[in-house]
Structure 1
Amino acid sequence: MQTVRWGILGAANFARHHMAPAIHEAEGAELAALATSNPANAAPFAAFAPGLRVHDSYDALLADPGIDAVYIPLPNHLHLEWTLKALAAGKHVLTEKPIALKAEEIDQIIAARDASGLLAAEAYMIVHHPQWQRAREWVQSGEIGTLRHADAAFSFDNGADSGNIRNRPETAGGGIRDIGVYTYGSVRFVTAAEPEDLQARIRWENGVDVWAQVTGTFAGPLGQFTYGAMTSMRLFPRQEVVFQGDKGLIRVAPGPFNAGIFGEARVELHRPGLSVTVERFPAVRQYKLQVEAFGRSVREGVPYACPLEFSRGTQVMIDRVFAVATAI
């Protein structure tokens, strides 16, 4: 098996605790290099990845001929720039969500991907997790009858951390860009539907959205259904997605997005007569699955579960939410 040699731009905490270990442990992947201007920041990565090469700049890592793919966990406002630079340097690239800040920016990445023949994708890990694949299978096979409504919630409280990039407008922070990609994109993934009409209310603090409520209707192969979503960076932690039909209900909770970290990864199918089927996935690591899926696409040309076209659809929805929102 050809090994995909990975480099990481920046020593972000998320990369250190989640994606770097996933790359190191994934089949067919090697964590080969890290770019950071502070050598001390590289020590935790080198501790589990012996032989790690440390570059003192992002450009130096992109020039490294021993790197096949780059993972980008930089602040949101830097994603587009460095994704395009990675492709121009001849590297496959996996960039944290949101991969861009506007749908038309993703068009730029699609054009660069197509011109280069390389794989570029957003690190939208949930589509690789079997709990979401099962939810999609159940919904699309009619296990809950006709889908009538979907609702999603994702909240946490980082109000005390004013320096957090999510709380800073200059780094393109805010709850919708950080977690709206989950409450919006997960419903799109499961139902293959797109929003028809949307209404939104947003609460702003210091130029970033800290609470948002979105309602509307979706339409697609399963017909039309109503939709509601809540995201917040100022509420007690909660994660839940529900798909409700006329003959049953599917609940993905309590850890639909941070599976195994926020809560147990499981999906529930509720049907008449108090029948409940629960599937649990305690040992599944979605970041590792993401790396392995990316590697198969690079090596074998296997279609990637989250192509840029899917990410663009979620960004279109985000753009619409901001456009129609009323401030409260």
Structure 2
Amino acid sequence: MKPLRWGILGAANFALHHMGPAIHAAKGASLCALATSNPTKAAAFGAFVPDIKIYESYDSLLAANDIDAVYIPLPNHLHVEWTLRALEAGKHVLCEKPITLMASDFDRLIDARENSGLLVAEAFMIVHHPQWARARDIVASGVLGRLRHVAATFSFYNDDATNIRNIAAAGGGGLRDIGIYAFGSTRFVTRQEPRVITHAKAAYENGVDVFAQVAAEFDDFDFSATISMRMFPRQEVVIHGEKGVLKLSCPFNPSVHAQAELHLETDTHTITTQRFPSINHYVMQVEAFGRSVTDGSPYACPLEFSKGTQQMIDMVFAELT
């Protein structure tokens, strides 16, 4: 079977350092094209894909007949527009998160997906990592007993005013950038949805949220999260039940922050640690996307799931106003 031929819209640093190499390394995928008008950035991609074809505009890449799928790492406020344009051009789409800035925008994407018959998904890579599949199985097994609380923390330090995360007009802010992981991972691992946001507090700089504390009630448990773009890097998810505790010490970007590890403590007073060294969830995401395109395999993060996470983000912003 021929590999899925990929193009990238925009030479973002994240595409250069993570997703570009992942597409290049993934089985069943071939990184063939990049759209950028910047020769220096194009050369950086050519360093690991010497025969990559460079297009000077996004539209020219989308018009290419030898590209099957595109990855979109553009600023957040451009995601919906270019996802729709890519679908209109007949390309499958993997778009960086958040794929929309409002949950209501998902209806346009879902309609376009259904009308085109193409795959379009948000690049929520963590659900493709085996630590999260294992965590989901542990929760479902009942070994933790009744769930009572889930706590998530994700922080890093970035005060670069030119970075799109710090630009309000580009859809920046911590909740959209990394809150999506705290909220989406909790929904994924528990298979539950938030009923109400019980507390939301945020600090803003230049119109974007740089720190937030959020509490919510799910059907069977309480949830709390700390999200910040102005704190020392830290990430952790703790799932606390009546009979046990499951801790993910590097839940969101293993191999960058630290090694992915699950720590399970049960009512037998034992701690079992499971480690996942050298697993690249970006590669696994590309491979899962390709399988879904080529043989119809179920995709772990369909638009309907991503819409649910955006709905929770919208709920938090509504509480903050």
Corresponding position: 1:192 with 2:191 = yes
Between the two proteins, what is the percent identity of the paired residues? 60
Distance 2:216 2:181 in 1: 17
Aligned residues: 320
Give 2:315's aligned residue: 320
Distance 1:124 1:187 in 2: 13
Unaligned runs of at least 5 residues, structure 1: none
Give 1:142 deviation, angstroms: 0.7
Q: Deviations over 1:178-213 (max 9, x none)?
A: 001000000000001000110211111110001111
Distance 2:41 2:29 in 1: 22
Give 1:53's aligned residue: 53
Give 1:241's aligned residue: 237
Matches within 5 A, 1:142-181: 142-159=142-159, 161-181=160-180
Aligned-partner SS, 2:221: strand
1:257 is matched by which residue type in structure 2?
A: F
Give 1:25's aligned residue: 25
Which of structure 1's runs of 4+ aligned residues deviate more than 2 A?
Answer: none
Find 2:270's aligned residue among 271, 275, 278.
Answer: 275
1:304 is matched by which residue type in structure 2?
A: Y
Contact preservation (8 Å) 1:2, 1:299: no
Distance 2:38 2:44 in 1: 12
1:21 is matched by which residue type in structure 2?
A: P
Q: Deviations over 1:12-66 (max 9, x none)?
A: 0000000000000100000000000112211111111131110000000000101
Contact preservation (8 Å) 1:202, 1:325: yes
Aligned-partner SS, 2:253: coil
Distance 1:236 1:53 in 2: 39
Give 1:288 deviation, angstroms: 0.2
Distance 1:137 1:27 in 2: 26
Give 1:273 deviation, angstroms: 4.2
Matches within 5 A, 1:202-241: 202-219=202-219, 224-241=220-237
TM score, norm. by length of structure 1:
0.96
Aligned CA RMSD, in angstroms, stands at: 0.8
Find 1:287's aligned residue among 273, 282, 291.
Answer: 282
Distance 1:212 1:174 in 2: 10
Give 1:124's aligned residue: 124
2:163 is matched by which residue type in structure 1?
A: N
Give 2:247's aligned residue: 251
Q: Deviations over 1:86-117 (max 9, x none)?
A: 00000000000000000111111000000000
Distance 1:217 1:105 in 2: 25
Contact preservation (8 Å) 1:39, 1:54: no
